[in-house]
Structure 1
Amino acid sequence: MVNYYSADIVMTVSSAPIRQGVVAVNGEGVIEGVYDSHSIPDGVTVKKLAGVLIPGFVNTHCHLELSHMLGKIPQHTGLPIFLSNVIKDRNSTEKNILSAMKKADEMMFKNGIQAVGDHVNSAISASIKEKSKIIYHTFVEVIGINNAELQAKIDHARDIEFHFDADHSSITPHAPYSSTKMMFKAFKKAIAEDNIISIHNQESDEENKLFRYRMGDFLTFYADQGIDMSGFKAQARNSLQSYLPYLPASNKIILVHNTYMSLKDLDFINRMNKKVILCLCPKANLYIENTLPKIPIIEQDNLDITIGTDSLASNDTLDMLEELKTIHAHYPDVDLNKSIRWATLNGAKALGLDADLGSIEVGKTPGLVLLKNMNQLRFTKNVQVERIV
């Protein structure tokens, strides 16, 4: 059976918005047709929806396995203290972790999320993902501070990856502050060209201080964790410029957060000629560091931008609409059409899912999401999301 839905505006994302557009979708969620008001097939019943119809969201960055940590960590601590709290408080019973992940997965689907890029340190989320209505790309994190253990760490990540969908999983360095130069080199040799990389980048200015001057709160974090950093030398440049040369040129590289990324960093990325995508997680940035990336500067660059929610350890919900509202509340001049593309098609491209997701096009299964109470196409606090398909 094919259902026909009309909306005040249909934003296909891949083409111009259609006023009073109509979308035909079959029982399997496949788009059968996209019409303007003059080309609707004769004799069909159209269900009218009040609002803006868009494809399902793609959440490019999450940590589903931290869902049980909702409300456990204080806000505005800064990243090093936040990480210490995660390490200290993340343990719980398997039952509690699974229950929280199931609720978080259902929350994301209800909130219109069609696909998720999810970071893991274990295989505990595999059973949830296998039964989920959401498509997950799982990023298994490699943390390599001790050079003597690098190959063992990579091998362990491969063992974890085995539990997830082979077509939608990859291993990735966790962050520059949890990796060494030798680890990046070993990682580069260990992966194939289709291995998507997703690395936490410049989430805190303390990260840049560490790499530029070998000073700041990360040294205290390492000492508290019993990690010997005596061999680490100041690089006299930001973290991004210190590690990006060691990542492969042929692989997609999603840089997550970018809260303290500078114009010089953006210029450096462009000169490196790598396949870099920038993922923004605004609510998590406010939760941890109480600041946001310089989005007006970032969006002037020629790099693709995507959006993520991060985890319930650093957010009070997993809701892409709330991320969009946050961006537009702080940067009202950001173009709405562009930001919806960040939250849909760009994310699908980043995760290698754009053949099926991210835009309303015939043959795709992107899901359909209705944005209600849109006043003059603005993301006000009154806008709500409703999943249609």
Structure 2
Amino acid sequence: MKTFKADYVFPVSADPIKNGVVTVDDYGKVISVNNEETADPNVPFETLSGVIVPGFINTHCHTELSHLKDKIAPGNGLISFIKEILATRAADPQAIADGAKAADQEMYDNGIVAVGDISNTADTVEMKAASKMYYHTFVEILGFIPERAEQVFNSALETAEKFKPHPSSVTAHAPYTVSKELFKLIKRYSDANENLLSIHNQECEDENKFYRYKLGGFIDLYKHLNINIDFFKPQARNSLQSVIPLLTNKQNILMVHNTCTNLKDIYFIKRFDRRINWCFCPNANLYIEKRLPKVELFVNQDLNITLGTDSLASNTKLCILSEMRTLQQNFPSLSLELLLQWATINGAAFLGIDNTKGTIEAGKTPGLNLLTGLDGFKITDDTKVKRLV
């Protein structure tokens, strides 16, 4: 067994414990959580300066794009980013494998214990099978041409099978790349099978312009790709409002990025019986669009909010602490306790692993991280994370 004492323990499931003491067995299972006064005096402990928190949950990543680190210039907007991804993502299989393996190790070292990972191929099957972290792979479907819906859907199902027995599901990429016909196929499958969903949502204003008026940068993108979208009719409402009725009410659904989601969108969703969760990836939003979501709109709305890193193509590191730091610096009213909920238990609940991860409670194997360099309970530029278990 290992026993750690720190200035504070944040179990997340309960109030912070001053002079907290956590004991885990050799497999990382929590045996007890106490304060110094109630801890067993006969058990020696390692004294640490800082705050012990549960292992982090990264609900949105693209490990198969890790070989593109530093390859795409920041700040040019989503449509330019998409064009560059399409032009540069093909690479030597070994380079892709090496990039994914390095990304996996980086996340582990940064205290991440579980990952919701987007894949378009089977390139990361071996990496995930050997990883020390929990992975759920979302096999992403792109197909805006109605006639190709069944073909691309069946291809995604075949790819998802290659990740088993590890958890996998098929999911839509984004409203602007998935036809109504394809959304219907995904819904039919999700209504009948366990099939967690993760969808890129409203990353830029052009997405809403495209859906409302059939105007904006996506028109140029499809011309660039030589794809005829004459069939698509403007919906007179934002993209999120347009696709929500096409989604299943049987599965948890993660809306990722939400950079241009507004209060009307949030209220619209509340009218539907959909199991919507939200993911913020602030560093990627700044990298691509140089802007952040209206995070304050989501607070105090009784919403399940999670955090993600996106890929190394759109971020300089894969670190949930870094995402928390960016949020707290830009939205000072966000407390450490709230950010930790987003970074731990909320992500675990979305992935369906909250029975073992997300909080420091007896019987769980959440992983333990030590945060140092805090200013009280504020994250600073000096705050670091060290994995304990």
Give the TM-score normalised by the residue count of structure 2. Answer: 0.98
Q: What CA distance in whole angstroms lies between the structure 2 residues aligned with 1:58 and 1:235?
A: 35
Question: Is the contact between residue 24 and residue 30 of structure 2 (CA under 8 Å) also seen in structure 1?
Answer: yes
3-state SS in 2 of match to 1:376: coil
Give the superposition deviation at 1:167.
5.2
Question: Is the contact between residue 143 and residue 177 of structure 2 (CA under 8 Å) also seen in structure 1?
Answer: yes
Match of 2:287 in 1: 287
Q: What CA distance in whole angstroms lies between the structure 1 residues aligned with 2:158 and 2:148?
A: 15
Amino acid at match of 1:307: L
Match of 2:221 in 1: 221
Match of 1:171 in 2: 170
Give the superposition deviation at 1:166.
3.8
Match of 2:364 in 1: 364
Give the superposition deviation at 1:180.
1.2
Question: Is the contact between residue 328 and residue 334 of structure 2 (CA under 8 Å) also seen in structure 1?
Answer: yes
Match of 1:74 in 2: 73
3-state SS in 2 of match to 1:162: helix
Question: Is the contact between residue 129 and residue 166 of structure 2 (CA under 8 Å) also seen in structure 1?
Answer: no
Match of 2:61 in 1: 62
Give the superposition deviation at 1:172.
0.3
Match of 2:324 in 1: 324
Give the superposition deviation at 1:194.
2.4
Q: What are the within-5 Å matches in structure 2 for residues 87-236 of structure 1?
A: 87-166=86-165, 168-191=167-190, 192-236=192-236
Q: What CA distance in whole angstroms lies between the structure 2 residues aligned with 1:183 and 1:94?
A: 29
Amino acid at match of 1:126: V
- The runs of at least 4 aligned residues of structure 1 exceeding 3 Å deviation read none
Q: What CA distance in whole angstroms lies between the structure 2 residues aligned with 1:101 and 1:229?
A: 34
Q: What are the within-5 Å matches in structure 2 for residues 233-252 of structure 1?
A: 233-252=233-252
Measured on the aligned residues, the alpha-carbon RMSD in Å equals: 0.9
3-state SS in 1 of match to 2:138: strand
3-state SS in 2 of match to 1:272: coil
Question: Is the contact between residue 153 and residue 182 of structure 2 (CA under 8 Å) also seen in structure 1?
Answer: no
Amino acid at match of 1:94: P
Match of 2:42 in 1: 43
Amino acid at match of 2:382: N
Amino acid at match of 1:364: K
Question: Is the contact between residue 135 and residue 166 of structure 2 (CA under 8 Å) also seen in structure 1?
Answer: no
Gaps of 5+ in 2: none
Give the superposition deviation at 1:116.
0.3
Match of 2:20 in 1: 21
Q: What CA distance in whole angstroms lies between the structure 1 residues aligned with 2:3 and 2:204?
A: 47
Q: What CA distance in whole angstroms lies between the structure 1 residues aligned with 2:152 and 2:269?
A: 27
Q: What CA distance in whole angstroms lies between the structure 2 residues aligned with 1:167 and 1:109?
A: 18
Q: What CA distance in whole angstroms lies between the structure 2 residues aligned with 1:268 and 1:104?
A: 37
Match of 1:351 in 2: 351
Q: What CA distance in whole angstroms lies between the structure 2 residues aligned with 1:299 and 1:122?
A: 35
Give the superposition deviation at 1:165.
3.2
Amino acid at match of 1:293: P
Give the TM-score normalised by the residue count of structure 1. Answer: 0.98
Match of 1:305 in 2: 305
Deviation per residue, 1:21-44 (Å, 9 max, x gap):
100000011111111122111311
1:314 and 2:350 matched = no
Amino acid at match of 2:295: I
Deviation per residue, 1:39-64 (Å, 9 max, x gap):
11131111011101000000000000
Q: What CA distance in whole angstroms lies between the structure 2 residues aligned with 1:223 and 1:351?
A: 37
Amino acid at match of 1:240: L
3-state SS in 2 of match to 1:123: coil
Q: What CA distance in whole angstroms lies between the structure 2 residues aligned with 1:167 and 1:250?
A: 21
Give the superposition deviation at 1:193.
4.8
3-state SS in 2 of match to 1:199: strand
3-state SS in 1 of match to 2:371: strand
Q: Percent identity?
A: 43
Residue 252 to residue 193, structure 1, CA distance change in 2 (3 Å): farther
Give the superposition deviation at 1:372.
0.5
Amino acid at match of 1:6: K
3-state SS in 2 of match to 1:59: strand
Give the superposition deviation at 1:118.
0.1
Q: What CA distance in whole angstroms lies between the structure 2 residues aligned with 1:203 and 1:54?
A: 30
Q: What CA distance in whole angstroms lies between the structure 2 residues aligned with 1:278 and 1:57?
A: 16
Amino acid at match of 2:154: D
Q: What CA distance in whole angstroms lies between the structure 1 residues aligned with 2:157 and 2:183?
A: 16
Amino acid at match of 1:253: I
3-state SS in 2 of match to 1:119: strand
Q: What CA distance in whole angstroms lies between the structure 2 residues aligned with 1:384 and 1:72?
A: 27
Amino acid at match of 1:140: V
Q: What CA distance in whole angstroms lies between the structure 1 residues aligned with 2:178 and 2:102?
A: 32
Give the superposition deviation at 1:336.
1.5
Q: What CA distance in whole angstroms lies between the structure 2 residues aligned with 1:113 and 1:237?
A: 37
Give the superposition deviation at 1:375.
1.3
Deviation per residue, 1:125-149 (Å, 9 max, x gap):
0100000011100000111212122
Q: What CA distance in whole angstroms lies between the structure 2 residues aligned with 1:43 and 1:37?
A: 12
Q: What CA distance in whole angstroms lies between the structure 1 residues aligned with 2:186 and 2:228?
A: 21
Gaps of 5+ in 1: none
